[in-house]
């Protein structure tokens, strides 16, 4: 511990310190299932140090509440607090940790009691080695531990000799040569104390599902310091799973003793819970919530006269801004407004699922028309909803505005438009106003929001609120595993999927569910369902597999008739990815149906049941607005809103907006390397199955007030890189340090334009070609631009509509040019695209663009692979044209290689001249 402070009045103390693999590298040699696990011996040594600070030499008891894990790069702050002495001289002690540099809640790892009563010291009576004891190979001990996931490196692998005599175990333990010189820093070196316990497995059998680790220590006394080697005796205490431990020096004098040490099985899932609660195994964070925070520096209010209004819904009166009947009317206006405001229509009448489908189809149509018209490229469309987001005057965990969703019918708009925003930055704005706001109040809200420069906002009671992802508060839940689903039957939809099956097993093994109703569209005929049913039934669980499409209200009602459930988990869903401009109402409806329709039917048909849990498996795609998933994002934001709506109605409900799971499923099997690298660049990391289930348990125990939690692994260092480059989405601003950027008149790409304008045309085009090749390499996941030929067609490189949009966005950011989303189709290779960019940067200096017919011919020729020239017999002709007369020193192979590097226009002219000849 690095520092201590005496507490006035109580005589207690607070000690603080910092631990990491950089400051304590030997801890990296203590792992469980690949995770660096701080041994309980460290907490014992820390507690003894805390007690010594107030004159208490004996650790009466220490109970470990949660594992303490370390990441490869992160550090942990430790705090030991020792309280006031009671009438017996005993003082309460607690050990907490939190990530270094964080300002969130501290996690409790151990609680105990220290006292000034010195323990009895007894000299060992046995000769050494003990008479009648049988030797055990220490390597066998470590093999048994490794089988349970416990791995020890040199700093901890300190068993030198082991013997067994009946129920007694003896061991000789010695620190490594590297660690022996550091014993002066400790009362007893934790690696020595931990190694003294390694042979406990010979007395206490290992657990069925995980290793047994020290859990509760009683009567710990330290008699000597500076030990680098000890002799150990371990005997059962008489209680199941509990032992007595004595440590002696080479002369038999006592070094330390533990009157009672009980062990508890720690499973991989429990370890993963500690990992995610501590912020992720690789330095990222894993459980978040969305809070609506007030904007205090919104900037100048943008009055209504400077914007237009789309549609005749009465949002604004004509005197406050021009009203346009449709998007085409805006594009045909003499002066296109910089901002056009449109309130989403909410279809009147009908069941909620039908209204959601119809409303989202209408929004999709308007958004697509807006984005497709290049005449509107410099204008923003503000999409307005009413009561569709949980922004309000309530108080969340941080005392910031958190309300409830009033109208779930429009909530999905936020998911759809968020994805469209990611695909087309700067073109769309999302706004939400109160349900009952009149036209004047809406005008004021829009004027306030536009002045903020934010792309998503809500106005409540005259205050401007924006969404920010924040860490979920986990205080008081670190030991919470199991329960939460009551004692009755739990219904799981999507049970035939990978995730549905994993969750069903987890409900049984951890939450103690004894009755399951598993729904899937194919029932027992679904792949793997029969095996799952057999497995769960073998565990004594009453399992009923039902073929039912939960989106069919009648079919679901028939399944639920006469049942009384205690919990619902809705894990069904399908994907139909594509950029927003490629979707249609049918594709959108196909994604909405298993999410929206099924969830609403479950809500209605179970609302009178006494449910302990109503869990909706949503996706972070809706929170972040994942490119290429507008329909999926819309469907999942509806789930988020439904959980929040249920909370406002006094019903249980939580929506978990999951990030990517590492396990491949039917919905993720199509993800390629480029997709994974794109997500990694955005700070997203995949969750292992153990981490995902641990997050499920934490989320169920957290009881957040707004009903929406986001379990996903984010790499904070990657987000910091995005922040430093100015590319961090506003939703994530609260997770990293953002630099203060001074206002400037320069727009994006100004520096690049000034740089290339000072070059000659040839040099400028070559510079832009390198820029394009570099961005293409990044988008496609190549390590260097060398993998991208300037003349090779984008279609041959593997571009699709999503990667095309990403390339457009990256080049727009780099150049400041207004580039169309179709640029890889309009200019099909890096060379042609760079030439067009040069024409836009310096139109007065660039060579004129080819006429359409010549341009089309040139682009067609440039897209033809060299192999096709060979197949149709043109390659030899082209090579002869390239080879100047009298050159007999260049072979065909060399000439063939030169074709790849030759200017395409030059090659085409030579080929055409040869044909004429």
DSSP string of 157-224, one letter each residue: --EEEEEEETTEEEEEEE--TTTGGGGGGSSS-HHHHHHTTGGGGGTSPPPSSEEEEEEEEEEEEE--
Element (H, E) at 785: none
Give the pLDDT score at 797. Answer: 87
Q: Same structural domain for residues 506 and 642? A: yes
Looking at residue 276, what is its pLDDT? 60
pLDDT at 894: 41
Question: What pLDDT was estimated at residue 608?
Answer: 93
User: What distance in Å separates the CA atoms of residue 871 and residue 585, rounded to the nearest whole number?
Assistant: 44
* C-alpha torsion angle, residues 686, 690, 696, 697 (rounded to 10): -150
By CB atoms closer than 10 A (0-12, 13-18, 19+), residue 494 is buried
Give the span between the Cα atoms of 410 and 387, in whole angstroms.
Answer: 8
Is there a contact between 647 and 653 (Cβ–Cβ < 8 Å)? yes
| Position 742 in a domain | no
CA angle centred on 26, ends 22 and 30, rounded to 5°: 115
* 255, 270, 285 - which closes a domain: 270
Residue 299 belongs to a domain: yes
Assess whether 142 and 228 both reside in one domain.
yes
**Residues 377 and 500 both lie in one domain:** no
- CA atoms of 166 and 547, how far apart (whole Å): 57
Domain tally, the chain: 5
Residues 728 and 756 in one domain: no
How much is the pLDDT for 917? 37
Tokens 């004021």 correspond to what residue? 444
Residue 366 domain-assigned (yes or no) = yes
- 137 lies in which domain range? 3-270
pLDDT per 10-residue tile (average), the chain, 917 residues: 78 89 90 85 94 92 87 82 90 88 74 84 73 92 86 92 93 92 92 94 71 88 93 90 91 92 77 59 64 79 75 56 88 88 87 96 96 91 94 49 78 97 94 87 86 91 91 57 76 90 90 93 89 91 95 96 94 90 95 97 96 95 93 97 93 94 61 64 77 84 75 80 79 73 47 79 89 89 84 86 87 87 86 90 69 64 68 70 50 45 50 45
The CATH code of the domain that includes 434 is 3.40.50.11460
DSSP labels for 406-460? S-GGGTHHHHHHHHHHHHSTTSEEEEEE-TT--HHHHHHHHHHHHTTT-SEEEEE
Helices (H), 593-629: 598-606, 620-624
Distances (CA, A) of 745 to 420, 453, 724, 754, 755: 28, 16, 20, 14, 17
- Beta strand extents in 672-755 (DSSP E only): 684-685, 708-714
What's the CA angle centered on 789, arms 786 and 794, to 5 degrees? 120
Instruction: Single out the residue of 662, 725, 715 nearest to residue 689, CA to CA.
Output: 662
Tell whether 817 is covered by a domain: yes
One domain for residues 719 and 803 = no
Measured distance CA(513)–CA(565) in Å, rounded: 12
Q: Tell me the chain's radius of gyration from C-alpha atoms.
A: 33
Q: Does residue 634 sit in the same domain as residue 671?
A: yes
CATH number of the domain within which 105 lies: 3.10.129.110
Q: Residue 832 is part of a domain; what is its CATH number?
A: 1.10.1200.10
- Residue 856: inside a domain: no
The tokens describing 239, both together, are 């209680």
Residues 19 and 132 in one domain: yes
Domain identity same for 122 and 170: yes
Distances (CA, A) of 369 to 243, 375, 410, 626: 74, 11, 20, 20
Examine the domain organization and report whether 21 and 162 are in the same domain: yes
Are the CB atoms for 556 and 550 separated by under 8 Å?
A: yes
434 belongs to a structural domain: yes
19, β-bridge pairs? 76
Cβ(270)–Cβ(67) under 8 Å? yes
The confidence score (pLDDT) of residue 445 equals: 87
- Residues linked to residue 30 through DSSP beta bridges, in sequence order: 152
In a domain, 284, yes or no: no
Asked if 721 and 654 sit in the same domain, the reply is yes
- β 229-236/168-174 pair status: antiparallel
Q: Which of 468, 500, 527 is the last residue of a domain?
A: 468
Last residue of a domain, one of 442, 468, 494: 468
> Does residue 280 lie in a domain region?
no
578 DSSP 8-state letter:
B
Inter-helix orientation angle 801-815/750-757, to 10°? 70
Report phi then psi at 583, rounded to 5: -80, 165
Kindly state whether residues 574 and 550 are assigned to the same domain. yes
Q: How many CA atoms lie within 13 A of 268 on its CB side?
A: 14
Same domain as 224, residue 349: no
């Amino acid at each position: 511990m690095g520092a201590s402070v005496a507490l006035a009045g109580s005589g207690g103390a607070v000690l603080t310190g910092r631990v990491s693999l950089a400051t304590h590298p030997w801890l990296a040699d203590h792992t469980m299932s690949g995770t660096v696990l701080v041994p309980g011996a460290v907490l014992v040594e820390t507690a003894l140090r805390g007690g010594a600070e107030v004159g208490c030499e004996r650790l009466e008891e220490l109970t470990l509440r949660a594992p303490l894990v370390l990441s490869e790069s992160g550090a942990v702050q430790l705090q030991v607090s020792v309280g006031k002495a009671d009438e017996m001289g005993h003082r309460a002690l607690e050990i907490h940790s939190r990530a270094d540099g964080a300002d969130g809640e501290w996690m409790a790892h151990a609680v105990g009691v220290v006292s000034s009563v010195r323990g009895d010291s007894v000299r060992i009576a046995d000769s050494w080695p003990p008479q009648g004891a049988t030797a055990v190979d220490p390597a066998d001990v470590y093999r048994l531990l490794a089988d349970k996931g416990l791995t020890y490196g040199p700093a901890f692998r300190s068993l030198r000799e082991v013997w067994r005599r009946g129920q007694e175990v003896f061991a000789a333990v010695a620190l490594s040569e590297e660690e022996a010189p550091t014993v002066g820093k400790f009362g007893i070196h934790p690696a020595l104390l931990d190694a003294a316990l390694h042979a406990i497995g010979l007395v206490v059998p290992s657990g069925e599902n995980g290793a047994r680790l020290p859990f509760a220590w009683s009567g710990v006394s330290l008699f000597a310091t500076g030990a680098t080697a000890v002799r150990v005796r371990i005997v059962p205490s008489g209680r199941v799973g509990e032992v007595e431990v004595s440590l002696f020096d080479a002369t038999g004098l006592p070094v330390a003793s533990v009157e009672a040490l009980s062990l508890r099985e720690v499973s991989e899932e429990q370890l993963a819970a500690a990992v995610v609660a501590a912020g992720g195994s690789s330095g990222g964070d894993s459980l978040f919530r969305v809070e609506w925070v007030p904007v205090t520096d919104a900037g100048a209010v943008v009055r209504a006269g400077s914007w237009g209004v789309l549609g005749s819904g009465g949002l604004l009166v004509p005197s406050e801004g021009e009203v346009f009947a449709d998007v085409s009317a805006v594009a045909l206006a003499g002066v296109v407004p910089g901002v056009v405001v449109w309130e989403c229509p909410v279809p009147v009448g009908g069941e909620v699922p039908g209204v959601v489908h119809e409303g989202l189809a209408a929004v999709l149509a308007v958004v697509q028309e807006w984005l497709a018209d290049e005449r509107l490229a410099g204008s923003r469309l503000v999409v307005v909803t009413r009561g569709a987001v949980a922004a309000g005057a309530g108080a969340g965990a941080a005392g910031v505005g958190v309300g409830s969703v009033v109208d779930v019918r429009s909530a999905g708009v936020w998911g759809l438009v968020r994805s469209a925003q990611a695909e087309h930055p700067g073109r769309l704005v999302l706004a939400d106003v109160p349900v009952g706001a009149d036209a004047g109040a809406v005008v004021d809200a829009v004027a306030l929001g536009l002045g903020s420069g934010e792309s998503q906002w809500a106005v409540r009671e005259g205050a401007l609120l924006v969404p920010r992802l924040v860490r979920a508060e986990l205080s008081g839940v670190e030991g919470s595993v199991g329960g939460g689903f009551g004692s009755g039957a739990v219904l799981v939809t999507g049970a035939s999927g990978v995730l549905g099956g994993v969750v069903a097993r987890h409900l049984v093994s951890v939450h103690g569910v004894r009755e399951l109703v598993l729904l899937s569209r194919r029932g027992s005929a679904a792949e793997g369902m029969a095996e799952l049913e057999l497995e769960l039934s073998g565990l004594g669980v009453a399992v009923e597999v039902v073929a039912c499409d939960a989106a069919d209200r009648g079919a679901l009602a028939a399944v639920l008739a006469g049942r009384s459930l205690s919990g619902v988990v809705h894990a069904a869903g399908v994907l139909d990815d594509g950029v927003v401009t490629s979707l249609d109402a049918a594709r959108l409806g196909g994604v909405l149906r298993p999410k929206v329709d099924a969830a609403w039917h479950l809500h209605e048909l179970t609302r009178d049941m006494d449910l302990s849990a109503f869990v909706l498996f949503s996706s972070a795609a809706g929170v972040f607005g994942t490119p290429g998933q507008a329909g999926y994002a819309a469907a999942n934001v509806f789930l988020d809103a439904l959980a929040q709506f249920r909370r406002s109605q006094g019903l249980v409900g939580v929506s978990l907006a999951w990030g990517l799971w590492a396990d491949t499923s039917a919905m993720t099997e199509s993800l390629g390397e480029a997709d994974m690298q794109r997500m990694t660049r955005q700070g997203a990391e995949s969750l292992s199955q153990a981490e995902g289930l641990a997050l499920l348990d934490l989320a169920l125990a957290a009881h957040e007030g707004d009903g929406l939690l986001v379990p996903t692994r984010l790499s904070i260092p990657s987000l910091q890189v995005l922040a430093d480059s100015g590319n961090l989405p506003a939703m994530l601003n609260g997770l990293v340090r953002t630099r203060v950027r001074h206002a400037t008149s320069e727009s994006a790409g100004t520096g690049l334009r000034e740089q290339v304008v000072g070059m000659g045309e040839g040099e400028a085009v070559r510079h832009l070609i390198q820029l394009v090749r570099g961005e293409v390499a990044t988008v496609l996941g190549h390590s260097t631009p060398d993998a991208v030929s300037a003349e090779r067609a984008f279609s041959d490189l593997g571009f699709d509509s999503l990667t095309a949009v990403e390339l457009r966005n990256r080049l727009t950011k780099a150049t400041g040019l207004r580039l169309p989303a179709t640029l890889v189709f309009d200019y099909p290779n890096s060379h042609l695209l760079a030439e067009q960019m040069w024409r836009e940067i310096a139109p007065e200096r660039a060579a004129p663009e080819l006429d359409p017919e010549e341009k089309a011919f040139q682009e067609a020729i440039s897209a033809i692979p060299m192999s096709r020239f060979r197949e149709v017999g043109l390659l030899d002709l082209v090579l002869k044209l390239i080879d100047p007369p009298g050159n007999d020193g260049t072979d065909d192979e060399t000439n063939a290689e030169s074709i790849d590097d030759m200017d395409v226009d030059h090659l085409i002219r030579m080929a055409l001249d040869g044909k004429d000849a």
